[in-house]
Amino acid sequence: MRLLIKNATIFEKNKPLQTDILIEDGVIAKIEPNINLKADKSKADKNKNTKGNNIIKTIDATGLTALPGMIDLHVHCREPGATHKEDFLTASHAAVAGGITTFFDMPNNSPPTSTLAALEEKRNLAKKSVVNYGFNFGLVKTSEAIATNDLKSDKKIQHKKSKKSKGKKASADAKTDKISKGKITYNLEEAKESQKYKCVKAVKVYLGQTTGNLMIDDLKVLEHLFLTTKMVMLHIEDDKLEEVLELFSNYCKKNTSSKTMLYICHVNSKKMVELIKKYKKQKHIEDRLFCEVTPHHLFLNNEDAKMLGRLAYVKPLILTKDDQKALWRALEDGTIDVIATDHAPHTLEEKNNPDITKVPAGMPGLETALPLLLNAVHEGQLTVNDITKLYSTNPAKIFGLKKKGRLKEGFDADIVLVQQKLKKRIINDNLLTKCKWNAFSNKELFGVPVYTLVNGNLAYEYDKFTDKKTLHDIQGREIE
Ligand code: NCD
Ligand code: ZN
Ligand code: ZN
Ligand code: ZN
């Protein structure tokens, strides 16, 4: 299988360069101006090792910029448990429309992805994804604690205890919180086991209240987790951050041979980025502490949030202009390593619940992240290379994804072709996410994904003349 992208613009050291990109068997075979197919074909004929050299398709990318596909480390696909909000297919459709070619799903499902059985179920469900995918495993309090409670009185607890795994089945039910007499235990054993899966790159720990009741309040458990995990990913608010960073710093000092990394999700405040910046300067933490920012925290502040009302209700909250500015500074000075959407779809009905205490936190983001970032390039706030680094290269490096995150010969042909000068309005009805709304809807943004390729297969095309989005029936791969 071969595919030739003609006349794409790529950016090397922020300088635009016109080039062709040849794709063979899902891999970038050559990046060079004016690739001559005939000459190349005869060469390929001579070289018997080159598989199938018949041209399937040529894409005319004149006027389009080629970027490595975006890699989103923080996505809630909602399957299993809440497929009325989203599922792996619709989430992946939204992803390709947003130029994302790989995503990592979060564990706050019901049931949570906190047992190996739940992980296996999710791996199975995720097969319908058109983008490449991986998973973050969830740390939860376990049923050992529940066993000390009256199981029968709790209809919410659906996990049945099997003889073999007695005491190890996980549960994220809020009820667990209320058990004070029983000894609280965690699914540390399964979290450790999950790390043997190549598709699992991190264990997610919720140290703050958010959608899914996976809240853990005893920070001490982290010390155990650090010993057995590649990476700990944290949902944390800024009141606990210093304590955790101190804990991690001490852990790194004591365990010099450990390579465990700490990743702070969705930073939202000046206080958070300043703390992280301070700890990143410690020699023994360098290259082991990372953090992420979402597009909504970058592009919205509490004044916008006031206008948007419940739609802008997310965890952690969208804060002041001052905090927003601090996030942009932290992008510039390298404190923030990654942009990720925290795509957290809820239905409009759920968001508009008349009982304000029942409105779920979270907003969708897969389709609008790259357009928002490209629009920021148009406005001079970012460069194309910044986007590549923060939303593709760094995520690939931090999660150890081989052959991803760069436009380079030998790398996977996960590619998005965008038209930077094309302006497009975000319209709810045209969105591919099942929840069909967006906090940025009706905004006009410069920068539109036109073609998205996953493993060398055309997954998505956009026709600007008819405003038509075409999805192709392809399968993404589980991350290795
Ligand atoms: C997320 C969700 O809805 O799953 N909500 C949110 O406000 N960010 C959970 C989370 O990432 O904290
Ligand atoms: Zn449960
Ligand atoms: Zn979170
Ligand atoms: Zn999230």
The protein residues having their C-beta less than 5 angstroms from ligand 4 (an ion) are 342
Across the chain, mean pLDDT equals 91
Q: What percent of the chain has pLDDT over 90?
A: 83
Which residues are CB-neighbours of 421 under 8 A, at least 6 positions away? 63, 446
Ligand 1 centroid distance, CA of 11 (Å): 34
Q: For 79-129, what is each residue's pLDDT tens digit?
A: 999 999 999 999 999 999 999 999 999 999 999 999 999 999 999 999 999
Ligand 1 atom nearest to 345, measured from its CA: 3
Mean pLDDT for 358-379 is 98
Q: What percent of the chain has pLDDT over 70?
A: 88
Residue 335 DSSP label: S
Cβ pair 66, 414 in contact under 8 A: no
Other Cβ atoms within 10 Å of 152 Cβ, number: 7
Q: Which two tokens stand for residue 133?
A: 């995918």
For residue 354, say if its preceding peptide bond is cis, omega within 30 degrees of 0: no
Cβ pair 478, 133 in contact under 8 A: yes
* Nearest residue by C-alpha to atom 5 in ligand 1: 362
> Between 53 and 461, whose confidence is greater?
461
One-character DSSP codes across 259-319: --EEEE-----HHHHHHHHHHHTSTTTTTTEEEEE-HHHHH--HHHHHHHGGGG--SSPP-
Ligand 1 atom nearest to 206, measured from its CA: 12
Distance between CA atoms of residues 252 and 221, nearest Å? 16
Domain boundaries along the sequence of the chain: 2-60, 70-140+184-405+425-443, 148-181
pLDDT of residue 56: 74
Length of the chain: 480
Q: Which residues line ligand 1 (CB under 6 A)?
A: 76, 108, 210-212, 235, 314-315, 342, 344, 360-362
Structural class in CATH, domain 70-140+184-405+425-443? alpha beta
pLDDT of residue 467: 95
pLDDT of residue 209: 86
- In the predicted model, is pLDDT for residue 303 greater than 70? yes
**Quick one: which ligand is closest to 114's CA?**
2
Q: For 128-145, what is each residue's pLDDT tens digit?
A: 999 999 999 999 998 654
- In the predicted model, is pLDDT for residue 385 greater than 90? yes
User: What pTM value is reported for the model?
Assistant: 0.91
Other Cβ atoms within 10 Å of 189 Cβ, number: 15
Cβ pair 452, 416 in contact under 8 A: yes
Element (H, E) at 42: helix 37-46
Ligand 1 atom nearest to 362, measured from its CA: 7
